[in-house]
Amino acid sequence: MENQANSKNIILNYGVIYGVIVVFVNLILYATGMLFDTTAGLLSLVITALSLIATIALGIKKFKSENGGFLSFGQAIKVGIGVAVLGTVIVILYQQVFTNVIEPDFTQQVLERTEQALYDAGLSDEQVEAQLAIQKKMSGPLISSAMGILFWTFIGFVISAISGAIMQKREEDAF
């Protein structure tokens, strides 16, 4: 393929769209005071997943159309993972600003709610303390960011693989 489309612009555009959607949803939850509402959290997760699926699929489709209608499986994976990683990095940057500037006591609020939920579930003091110690370690900025990137990159890979398998069309297949 001599005139292969530029994937960087597509990844940039769709990755930013994905990141902005997720940040916007989180800002709405914060503004409405629904950060700790279980239903709102579930809805936020569904919107995040659907926006990731849509932005990856649309990004791959755009790449295919700009590439003369051709798309290899590897190109689909590259575009999809790029969109997922860029969007996730935007969300992580927002989360760092949120937890360090906008709502600095957010992590403490989460720990207090978790502690109460564990006691309500009937756990002993030792079990609650052990669970909270694990959660404190896992909620640190480096570990939670790394886990977020790994998780959403894996989900992006799965979506890209499915989209790529459906949309792929190689030049060899055209003859």
**Mean pLDDT, 10 residues at a time, over the chain (175 residues)?**
76 98 96 90 94 97 93 95 97 93 87 85 85 84 91 96 92 62
Rounded alpha-carbon distances, angstroms, from residue 169 to 5, 57, 64, 65: 14, 15, 9, 11
pLDDT at 169: 83
pLDDT at 35: 86
pLDDT at 118: 84
Rounded alpha-carbon distances, angstroms, from residue 39 to 25, 45, 91: 13, 10, 21
pLDDT at 1: 44
Q: Provide the 10 A C-beta neighbour count for residue 96.
A: 13
Q: Is the pTM of this model over 0.75?
A: yes
Rounded alpha-carbon distances, angstroms, from residue 163 to 7, 64, 68, 84, 129: 16, 11, 18, 14, 44
SS3 of residue 4 by DSSP: coil
